[in-house]
Amino acid sequence: MSTAPAIHIENLSKTFGRGRKRVEAVRNLSLDVHSGQVYGFLGPNGAGKTTTIRMLLDLIRPTQGSAYVYGQHVRREHQVLRRVGALVEGATFYGFLSARRNLEVFARTGDRYDPRRINALLEQVGLAGRAEQRVKGYSTGMKQRLGLAAALLHDPDLLILDEPTNGLDPEGMHEIRLFIRRLADEQGKTIFLSSHLLGEIEQVCDRVAIINMGEIVREGAVATLLEGQAHLRVEAMPLERAAEVLRAQWPISTNGTWLTVQARREEIPQVVRRLVEQGVDVYQVATQRQTLEEYFLTVVQEAVRHD
């Protein structure tokens, strides 16, 4: 049995345009996604996430580098993509047909028609009660749900989702998050998930890569990336002087009442000591574990400063 990663990307690059209009959308990107993982692919708008996904699905040709799915090169061994289901840049359907009829058309086109599976998927994505409604009357969130059902029609081993909760309300996002987690935990599927909703990603993903300006700037298990990252919330007077003292070494922010200092846990005594030595009165100190969203913003800001 093959032990190849579900996804292996090796030195992948994509350049659009020439001369002054030349844009490096993806630069020497490499990563592995192992079977059974929910893998988050994070980055600001324009970071290269969708371009990477389109190369992975052989929808556009890379300038250099290679992409493999289950050990097979996606361009040379295109049949491997039959093991992949995808929802990329929103879902497109026949608006004059119902949700059920759209899924039936897609299933018959792929020679995988099974009415029981269509019914089950409509139920699982929360569209069973609207299955006979024409899709042209669907909201963006409902179309995303239908797109997820369409991606799962042929029971793929690997699911690639680009912003799957776009347009959903908080309850809908929660439902889809639980659904994605069950696909991995109960059905053994691998999910490659691109999203900007970092709170959701933190709760559903095993591992993440942060991409900025076409390059991966951090990669690892969510728990490992956040381990040791702490918020030091400091109530001190005068607050402006405290900010001035700390800003040279640590990223800080303030809400006018206290400072938030991005510091490693082992640096906390040093932060407090520096304030006291500079004549700043410290009234209260509290530590909090950094969220993935806060970690992401810190990493992207550092990448921009060092670029």
pLDDT tens for residues 101-137? 999 999 998 788 889 999 999 999 999 999 999 999 9
CATH architecture of the region 7-224: 3-Layer(aba) Sandwich (3.40)
Just give the CATH number of 228-306.
3.30.70.980
| 231, HSE (Cβ side, Cα atoms, 13 Å) | 18
Q: For 173-201, how does the pLDDT look when each residue is reduced to its tens digit (9 = 90+)? A: 888 888 899 999 999 999 999 987 777 77
For the stretch 224-259, pLDDT in tens is 777 756 678 888 899 999 999 999 888 888 888 888
3-class SS at 86?
strand
Matching fold, domains 7-224 and 228-306: no
What residue segments make up the domains of the chain, in order of their start?
7-224, 228-306
Please compute Rg for the chain using Cα positions: 23
Where do we find the tokens 């799957």?
164
